[in-house]
Amino acid sequence: MTNPERGWFYVELNKAQTESMTNPERGWFYVELNKAQTESMTNPERGWFYVKLNKAQTESMTNPERGWFYVELNKAQTDNMTNSERGWFYVELNKAQTDNMTNSERGWFYVELNKAQTESMTNPERGWFYVELNKAQTDNMTNSERGWFYVELNKAQTDNMTNSERGWFYVELNKAQTESMT
């Protein structure tokens, strides 16, 4: 199969094979399956595949279950991506997976996910990633909710930055996050 054909196959197959699994079982299954099925894909192909697959496989999960699943899955699927590819992947994936979350649930999810996904990034790469990701994830938040989210997220993401790096990061991030505030 070509990679697009393989992607379509897994989407259809996974819908059928996991109907009788509990969500934790399904989560484990996808983590194991995804490791095997994307080994011969290029990173852009892999990214496209996961976006399509994740939309289908988490429809019956509660938001906390979905959050746990993505955290575990994302750790496995981006091991061989460059930071630029990883950043693009997360932006696209996160847009799809948080559509039905409340802002509080979305905030918790991103805090947990971001801790895991930026461990191997340099601080400038991490800063760029957060700026791009945050633009996408806070579109539907009120200014008060956005403020709470950034406070919680920033506590986690700047722990390992020097003060100079942290200062640069906040300047760039704040420019993006306050554009629609009065």
Q: What is the pLDDT of residues 135-145, one digit of tens each?
A: 555 665 665 55
Task: Look at residue 91 and tell me if it is in a domain.
Answer: no
- 38 and 110 in a single domain? The answer is no
pTM reported for the whole predicted model = 0.31
Structural contact between residues 111 and 137, judged by C-beta atoms closer than 8 angstroms: no
- 66 and 3 in a single domain? The answer is yes
Task: Look at residue 96 and tell me if it is in a domain.
Answer: no
Task: Look at residue 19 and tell me if it is in a domain.
Answer: yes
- 57 and 106 in a single domain? The answer is no
Q: Given 61, 85, 109, which residue is the final one in a domain?
A: 85
| DSSP secondary structure string for all residues of 119-154 | TTS-HHHHHHHHHHHHHHHTTTS-HHHHHHHHHHHH
Question: Which long-range contacts link 6-14 to residues 24+ away (Cβ below 8 Å)?
Answer: 6/37, 6/41, 6/49, 7/45, 7/48, 7/49, 7/52, 7/53, 8/52, 10/37, 10/49, 10/53, 11/52, 11/53, 11/56, 14/53, 14/56, 14/57
pLDDT tens by residue, 67-96:
555 555 555 556 666 655 555 555 555 555
**How high is the pLDDT of residue 155?**
58
- 122 and 71 in a single domain? The answer is no
Task: Look at residue 157 and tell me if it is in a domain.
Answer: yes
User: What is the domain range of residue 179?
Assistant: 101-182
- 18 and 54 in a single domain? The answer is yes
**182 residues of the chain, pLDDT tens digit each:** 455 445 545 555 555 555 565 555 555 555 555 555 566 665 555 555 555 555 555 666 665 555 555 555 555 556 666 655 555 555 555 555 566 666 556 655 665 556 555 666 665 555 555 555 555 556 656 655 555 555 555 655 566 666 655 555 555 555 555 555 44
**How high is the pLDDT of residue 8?**
47
Task: Look at residue 153 and tell me if it is in a domain.
Answer: yes
- 50 and 13 in a single domain? The answer is yes
User: What is the tally of structural domains in the chain?
Assistant: 2
